[in-house]
Amino acid sequence: MNKRNFALAIVALLVGIFLVNLFQDQQEKKEKEEAAQLAKESMDLSNAEQGLAKGDRAPDFELTTLAGETVKLSDYKGKKVILNFWATWCPPCKAEMPHMQKYYEKNAEKENVEILAVNLTSMDDGKDKVQEFADGYELTFPIPLDVDGAIGEEYRAFTIPTTYMVDTKGLIQHKIVGPMNEDMMGEMVSGMD
């Protein structure tokens, strides 16, 4: 290979690296903009569309977690709560779980946030499948089991995943129907007291 061809190959390689980096930056920017837009749209939902409206007190409940502990939503008063309803067979639920775990690991303590991922066990394939799912995704946040479906129904989690953002006073601030990512969770949590 002569010097000219070698120089052209180096230039082509550098241009390729530049274009790949530019494309990745644009993708990240687009994903952040989409997350911000989804967060804004969720905040703007009318009361009729939300079921439980912004500003309503989140209905308290008591459930047993996958780990066998009893939890009540009211136990978390003073914390911001991401209250997520999901099932193991749900593809969008599978898509958001890694984002929820990363967000939890990075932000739970510093942002005063707890994630309660309520498994709709009455619609799922049993506790063993839920455990297998939690182990597979290495989930470390509490997973309450809605064995009879009453809590999912009360929160109108008819489409899953459905997530409520509950502030430190126990008031609903947002409802999200569909999967979330880390940026979206951060955007919503940062806007709550």
Helical axes 182-190 vs 3-43, angle rounded to 10°: 40
Instruction: Mark whether 141 and 109 lie in a shared domain.
Output: yes
Domain of residue 12, residue span:
1-44
* 73-115 per-position pLDDT tens digit: 999 999 999 999 999 999 999 999 999 999 999 999 999 999 9
Instruction: Mark whether 128 and 149 lie in a shared domain.
Output: yes
Q: Mean pLDDT score of the chain, rounded to an integer?
A: 86
Number of domains observed in the structure of the chain: 2
Q: What is the mean pLDDT of residues 8-32?
A: 70
The answer to whether the CB of 137 falls within 8 A of the CB of 98 is yes
Instruction: Mark whether 119 and 172 lie in a shared domain.
Output: yes
Instruction: Mark whether 115 and 128 lie in a shared domain.
Output: yes
Instruction: Mark whether 54 and 24 lie in a shared domain.
Output: no
pLDDT at 185: 93
**Weakest mean pLDDT among 3-12, 14-23, 111-120, 149-158:** 14-23
Instruction: Mark whether 35 and 72 lie in a shared domain.
Output: no
Instruction: Mark whether 33 and 56 lie in a shared domain.
Output: no
Domain of 74, CATH number, reads 3.40.30.10
Instruction: Mark whether 67 and 94 lie in a shared domain.
Output: yes
Where is pLDDT greater, at 98 or 190? Answer: 98
Report which of 77, 84, 92 is spatially closest to residue 162, judged by C-alpha positions: 84
Instruction: Mark whether 75 and 58 lie in a shared domain.
Output: yes
Instruction: Mark whether 20 and 95 lie in a shared domain.
Output: no
- pLDDT tops 80 at residue 32: no
